[in-house]
Structure 1
Amino acid sequence: MACALETLCGQAYRAQQYRKVGIHTYTAIFCLILVCFPLSLLWLYMGRLLVFIGQDPLISHEAVHIPLCWALVFKFELENIGGALAISISNWLNAIFLALYMWYSPACAKTRVPVATELFQGIGEFFRFAIPSAVMICLEWWSFEVLILLSGLLPHPELETSVLSVCLNTISTLYAIPYGLGAAASTRVSNELGAGNPQASRVAVYAAIALEALNTLIVSGILFASRHVFGYVYSNEKEVVDSVTSMAPLDCMSVILDGLQGVLQGVARGSGWQHIGAYVNLGAFYLVGIPAAATLAFWLQLKGIGLWVGIQSGSLTQNILLAIVTSCVNWEEQTVNTELH
């Protein structure tokens, strides 16, 4: 939902409407705090919910916790709870440091405004971009979570879940790079649209895609070259490591597809097309990816590999649709629409 600010703040800043940037930020903070309450209740009962839908009780219990962090897990012997606590503390520190930076940094001086009742006036506009943003992102990530749930229904669910979790954690970690490039593309595109520069917006898109193509070649090459030892980062069990090695080529393909869609979704956020991205992800993952994954895994008996190949067919569909949308954009018309907004 916070991705709505990439559209609102980016365009307002380049249009030199600095006060609106600050107000949009306060509006987002207020709205997201409200959203956190029902989400917290959901996490509180997540273990019971997973057992209710048929997952292995041991796996369901572990799914509530974030991966282990050394200091609290080993030093203080808090195990899984220590890992979750460490992540929570890190998130709070991150929020505090960012708030201090925004409040005291000279770079934010123009957009620093006192809290005012104006923030309530922008709630409707914020949710107009925030809800499609959340749907766009959540539909994609939830499809991978559905994949993990489906793996729990396969024979030997501990092995299948472990291997797919390794694959998911790997591409999630590597996705940080294209997500950063997508955020940069979003900022550049929204800035140039706000300034009325359609040609610069077009160039920003091409530059981001070119940079991501280079990143994809490097990252996927390193991942493939280290495929025989990479599994030991996550597990010492040879069966898991061997399965991870066999999945490495598919992981490399995932890196390529994730890289391109990360940039294209950044362009969508900067341009205010979150609703289009939501429709694309709905069709790509829930009409193509998940049905294909279930068919390959259960009907054709390909198990975990079938699940991963199926969901990547959804990613391929997503990339094709986003590329078509981006290539058909009239940037001059998009600039006019931004100015009217």
Structure 2
Amino acid sequence: MAPPEAHHQADPELNETLHDDSAPILTERTPLIHNLKDHDGDHAELSVTVLKTEAKTLVSLAWPVSLAYVLQVSLNLAQIFSVGHIGTKELAASALATMLCNVTGYSIGMGMASALDTLCSQAHTGSKDPHALGKHMQRGIVVMAAMSLPIGILWWFAADFLRLMGQQEDIAQLSGTFARYALIGLFPMLVNECMKRYLQAQGIMKATLAVIMIASPLNAFLQYLLVWSPIGFGVIGAPIATSITYWCLPVLTGLYIKFVAGGESWGGWEWKEALDLSQIWEFLKLGLPCVAMTCSEWWAFEIIALAAGWIGDKELAAQTIVLNTCSLTYVIPLGISIAASTRIGNALGAYCPRTARAAAVACILLALCVATVNSSVLISVRHAWGWLWSADEEVVRLVATVLPLAAIFQLSDAVGAGVGGILRGCGRPDLGAYINLAGYYVVGLPIGLIATFKYNMDIAGLWMGLTIGLFLVSLTTLIIVYRLNWTGEADRARTRIMKVDQGYGALLPGDVLVDEATTRDDDGYLSA
């Protein structure tokens, strides 16, 4: 094992390359961490040049994530396509089971895994332990294993649960069977979420894209083989195929880590580190707010989908079209969000508060630009878009009515995604959780339901409520980010790293401890 200091000392040739304007900025093996210290002093002022530099960095990190997300969505679309051509009842059961699994399993696990966005990104540049990221990932896997048990029990008895919720007997029974077979793929899917964040924290974003480019066609083949081919199982083959694909994801990601990039931060499995209760508690302190932050938004959209179904079939169809459209437009803000959490976490871990601040501002500006483009596109295609999804004239009319609201929603959605990434990079998901809960469940959903069912605004009322709620969420979080003391956030990152490093210590060579006696300037930065 290399000395701890070697983990952070930049190669002189690499430093020279980074200062050469003609050299590439980002590769899979040199993920924009070595130049953080050099650039932090240049980021004292938020000049156009500084913001362009950070924006280019975020874009280079974001695009593989966005593309990978599109391909990942194809896994569920392939299952829907397979089942939908069997029958309406089967499609309804699949949709119900998918909603149950999303609400009670995937959203919770993905939210908990988001704790690694903070822990791994900050440790990658701030920890002296060269295997700190691997230890964080191990603890994440242990937490995912513990979470899978209660989730698995619920999924196993999903049919009984759905009957209690008033679902029809045949739909509840088939949905329960779907959930049981989906349970096979739950744990590997959550493990892969931890592995993805382990790599993303190092700036290795193309790994997820490479893995999903293999998994997506594999899943399509398995859907055919297990559903439609002579040796297939019919409708039950669809969740089996998806579960097999989920098992392939961590295997493929592990092979990428071992043979392509990212293996330097993995020191092998260590049970003592993985089961350290004090460190697991630190993980949960970040993970639980991330769960609340993720689930509050995810569940709100599921409630809106249910409410649209109460209005009527055509309204539910229009709601499904608009929601899927917004999911497509969200892929770019999502990539920017993950890129921002990585960049800001790396910067704070390296004790570069000015770089973190510049990255945050660049993230918000990029989100606004993307939102403007998305909104303009939705407004321009609002009358024709519905025809791509449905031949029902009434459904198309409803889509055209709602898309202008969805266009306004884009502004808040993109900014909210960007600010969420900033808060995760800082290790402040608790702030986002409180604000999301208030914005969606105190403001957005009540307004939407009242407008829909009391004032007969149909699904336009639902989207009006969502838009108002998310606008307040985005505005509030923007104010919080504006008021952040970035040196204070760097101090918090250092404290967090020191708790984990234990014997290694958390200070980089030449750094000094920051305490209350340290003199700061008016912006909260250390005085010279």
State TM-score, norm by structure 1: 0.89
RMSD across aligned positions (CA): 2.6
Counterpart AA for 1:88? S
The corresponding residue for 2:124 is: 13
Deviation at 1:245, TM superposition (A): 2.0
What is the rounded CA distance, in whole Å, between the counterparts of 2:388 and 2:233 in structure 1? Answer: 21
For residues 1-341 of structure 1, what are the structure 2 equivalents within 5 Å?
Answer: 1-16=112-127, 17-46=129-158, 49-50=161-162, 52-54=164-166, 72=223, 76=229, 81=236, 83-105=238-260, 107-116=261-270, 117-121=272-276, 122-154=279-311, 156=312, 158-341=313-496
CA contact (8 A) 1:185 1:263 kept: yes
What is the rounded CA distance, in whole Å, between the counterparts of 2:164 and 2:460 in structure 1? Answer: 26
Deviation at 1:283, TM superposition (A): 0.7
Helix, strand or coil: the match of 1:235?
coil
CA contact (8 A) 1:10 1:270 kept: yes
What is the rounded CA distance, in whole Å, between the counterparts of 1:99 and 1:296 in structure 2? Answer: 49
State TM-score, norm by structure 2: 0.59
The superposition leaves residues 248-286 of structure 1 with CA deviations (integer Å, 9 ceiling, x where unpaired) of 111212222111100000001110111111111111111
Deviation at 1:41, TM superposition (A): 3.5
- Number of residue equivalences: 336
What is the rounded CA distance, in whole Å, between the counterparts of 1:70 and 1:263 in structure 2? Answer: 32
What is the rounded CA distance, in whole Å, between the counterparts of 1:113 and 1:227 in structure 2? Answer: 53
What is the rounded CA distance, in whole Å, between the counterparts of 2:173 and 2:365 in structure 1? Answer: 43
What is the rounded CA distance, in whole Å, between the counterparts of 1:55 and 1:145 in structure 2? Answer: 16
Counterpart AA for 1:108? G
CA contact (8 A) 2:343 2:359 kept: yes
* Higher-helix-fraction structure: 1
What is the rounded CA distance, in whole Å, between the counterparts of 1:264 and 1:246 in structure 2? Answer: 29
Deviation at 1:136, TM superposition (A): 0.7
Helix, strand or coil: the match of 1:18?
coil
Unaligned runs of 5+ in 2: 1-111, 180-218, 497-528
What is the rounded CA distance, in whole Å, between the counterparts of 2:453 and 2:160 in structure 1? Answer: 26
What is the rounded CA distance, in whole Å, between the counterparts of 1:302 and 1:260 in structure 2? Answer: 27
Deviation at 1:52, TM superposition (A): 3.7
Counterpart AA for 1:189? I
Which segment drifts farther, 219-228 or 294-303?
A: 219-228
Say if 1:199 and 1:167 are closer, same or farther in 2 by CA, change over 3 A.
same
Counterpart AA for 1:128? K
The superposition leaves residues 148-193 of structure 1 with CA deviations (integer Å, 9 ceiling, x where unpaired) of 2222332x2x222222222222212321211110000001111110
Counterpart AA for 1:216? A
Which segment drifts farther, 241-250 or 193-202?
A: 241-250
The superposition leaves residues 295-317 of structure 1 with CA deviations (integer Å, 9 ceiling, x where unpaired) of 10111111211111112211111
Deviation at 1:137, TM superposition (A): 0.6
CA contact (8 A) 2:449 2:462 kept: yes
Greater Rg over alpha carbons, structure: 2
Counterpart AA for 1:175? Y
The superposition leaves residues 25-45 of structure 1 with CA deviations (integer Å, 9 ceiling, x where unpaired) of 011012112212322343445
CA contact (8 A) 2:228 2:234 kept: no
Counterpart AA for 2:149? F
CA contact (8 A) 1:55 1:149 kept: no
CA contact (8 A) 2:341 2:424 kept: yes
Say if 1:80 and 1:294 are closer, same or farther in 2 by CA, change over 3 A.
farther
Say if 1:245 and 1:289 are closer, same or farther in 2 by CA, change over 3 A.
same
CA contact (8 A) 1:103 1:112 kept: no
Q: Percent identity?
A: 30
Helix, strand or coil: the match of 2:275?
helix
What is the rounded CA distance, in whole Å, between the counterparts of 2:317 and 2:169 in structure 1? Answer: 15
Deviation at 1:321, TM superposition (A): 1.1
Which segment drifts farther, 273-282 or 96-105?
A: 96-105
Helix, strand or coil: the match of 1:153?
helix
